[in-house]
Structure 1
Amino acid sequence: MTAPATIVLLHGFTQTGRSWDPVVAAMGERYRALAPDLRGHGSASDLRPVGFGEIAADVLALAPARFALAGYSMGGRIALDLALRDGGAAQQRIERLTLIGASPGLRSAGERAARRAADDALAEQILSGGVEAFARGWAAQPLFADQPPAVAAAAHAERLRSTPEGLAASLCGTGTGTMEPLWERLPRLRLPVTLIAGERDAKFRALAEQMAELLPDATLHVVEGAGHAVQLERPDAVAALL
């Protein structure tokens, strides 16, 4: 009997690998799913340093010789960076890439500097106020508006699994302002890419459309009725696309 293919699932900021549980359950036995806690989160809250290179090394050490890779939001940015890092060396191991609500980074230096300053300020707020207060403020963003109550409750519980120090380190080390923009390198991504965005997530749906125009082999799926956290709101749809 042939062993199932492996898929590595990278969670978003404030989440842990557990956030993928509904998707993994919906996939059944079609894949061997690996959903690690990324540095700064959950069981990996204390791992330092937190950066794109360190997390890429963690993922490549965890994964088998060949694997599919999927990431949501921060996890999507990390997955994309991994696939393009070191001249795209990892593409020899990655069978296909799925990006959910993800961005290739901010194009201008001014935008990145402003975002870094905002993330640094938010990191200080997390350290001074604690995770509980931060989690409630984070959930109030328009990005997560109209989430079903059960999804919002699960997301809140996820946020409480990380430490203030871990989340602050993640913001400063893998925030959008810290990320090297990858727009110009997208045409070098030669593996199949699936882009997923929620119908209600206008910002990231537009980003996915722009990415699809630059990627050599991309398919875009807009999930009806979903917001930014598509894999939480529609795990069945995400499992089917994976």
Structure 2
Amino acid sequence: MGMQPLNYKDVEIGTIAINGVQMGVVELGKPTAATAKLRPTLVFIHGFTGNATSWGALLEHLAGQDMHVISLEMLGHGRSSAPEDPTRYSMEHCQQDILAALQALHIAPGAAILLGYSMGGRIALYTALSGYFRALVLESASPGLAIAEEREQRQRSDEALATCIEDYGLEAFVSYWESRPLFASQEKLSIAQRAKLREQRLHNTPRGLANSLRGVGTGIQPALHQRLNEITVPVLLITGQDDPKFCAIAREMATQLPQAQHQIVPNAGHTVHFEQPEAFETLVRNFTNSVQ
């Protein structure tokens, strides 16, 4: 399960073979035998259209502060495999793949903090039910849709979007994706920042993104509302002030998670780590130090 290096921007992305697929991985600040017990491990799961480098300079900053940082790419994204069968992308398979990757990287149960954004937050929440992690950070995440009719409607919507990706191609889809109201706050970013984000989104494949929607979209995933009380580890919920929908979801989740705190970041929307990176980094670093 050796790493296959690829230099993309300033970060080395590799792949590991797990469960019959390849998973893209960035690993920074790997501890030595002498520092293994001193360095906290953070595992990052990106959002839809993202990849292991979606976190910008955050990974390098945290690694430079004596933290062991691992960023994983979900199926259909970045360098990870893009299977033809949409069911291979399911939430259950995501959990199995993440745990297999961490075992391959010699991360013991209870050693790591899991952090997920948006789609990655939904995956992280489900994966945390395994009991493998010491704490959890969820950025702009949800437990899914509680009402069956809403899940069915969302599945139809995701299928239509997946078909459009396949029919019209990646560039057309990314242009549509960037225009969604959910990302309106990103208009405040510089042209260079938006161009960088677009380039990262285009670092994917149409089949991968389409099947990710079909396999692990919000409509198809299990609703987790009734299981939130099973997650007894500390949880940090992060949302942007300009994203009222997910602020409300996080407030509700905080009432059901046994050890949760909710932080709302000013002047940020759905993608807090990109829109307000310094504030996001401070929240993650302080939370990590508090649970060691």
Which of residues 198, 222, 231 is equivalent to 2:240?
198
Letter in 1 for 2:232: R
Q: Specify the structure having the higher radius of gyration (Cα).
A: 2
CA contact (8 A) 1:45 1:162 kept: no
Q: Is the 8 A contact 2:165 2:173 kept in 1?
A: yes
Deviation at 1:5, TM superposition (A): 1.7
- Partner of residue 2, structure 1: 35
Q: Is the 8 A contact 1:98 1:193 kept in 2?
A: yes
In structure 2, what is the Cα distance between the partners aligned to 1:62 and 1:23?
Answer: 21
- What are the residue-to-residue correspondences of 1:136-215 with 2, within 5 Å? 136-147=175-186, 148-149=189-190, 150-215=192-257
% identical aligned pairs: 42
Counterparts in 2 of 1:89-104, with a 5 A limit?
90-91=130-131, 93-104=132-143
Question: What is aligned with 1:75?
Answer: 120
- Distance in 2 (alpha carbons) for counterparts of 1:208 and 1:114: 22
Q: Is contact 1:23-1:239 (8 Å) kept?
A: yes
Of 39, 47, 53, which residue of structure 2 is paired with 1:18? Answer: 53
Task: Quote the offset at 1:155 in angstroms.
Answer: 2.0
Look up the equivalent residue of 2:257 and give its one-letter code: L
1:44 — aligned with what? Answer: 80
For the residues of structure 1 that align with 2:81 and 2:152, how far apart are their CA atoms? 26
Name whichever of 42-51 and 60-69 sits farther off.
Answer: 42-51
Structure 1 residue ranges (4+ consecutive) displaced by more than 4 angstroms after TM superposition: none
Which deviates more, 26-35 or 188-197? Answer: 26-35
Q: Give the secondary-structure state (helix, strand or coil) at the position aligned to 2:72.
A: coil
Aligned length: 236
Structural RMSD (CA): 1.3
Q: Does 1:228 align with 2:257?
A: no
Q: Which has the higher helix share?
A: 1
Q: Name the CA distance, whole Å, in 1 between partners of 2:60 and 2:217.
A: 29
2:258 corresponds to which residue?
216
Q: Which moved more, 1:128-137 or 1:24-33?
A: 24-33
Kept after mapping to 2: 8 A contact 1:69/1:97: yes
Q: Deviations over 1:27-76 (max 9, x none)?
A: 22331111111101010142462111222112112221121100000000
Q: Amino acid of the residue matched to residue 204 of structure 1? A: F
Q: SS of 2:137's equivalent?
A: strand
Query: Quick one: distance in 2 between partners of 1:191 and 1:207?
Result: 19
8 Å CA contact 2:185–2:268 kept in 1: the answer is no
Residues 70 and 17 of structure 1: is their aligned pair in 2 closer, same or farther, counting only changes over 3 Å? Answer: same
- Structure 2 residues without counterparts, runs of 5 or longer: 1-33, 285-292
Cα distance in 2 for residues equivalent to 1:210 and 1:180: 18
> Which stretch of structure 1 is more off in the superposition, 25-34 or 122-131?
25-34
Q: Describe the superposition over 1:98-145 as per-residue Cα deviations: whole angstroms up to 9, x where unpaired.
A: 000000010100000000000000000000000000000000011101
Normalized against structure 2, the TM-score is what?
A: 0.78
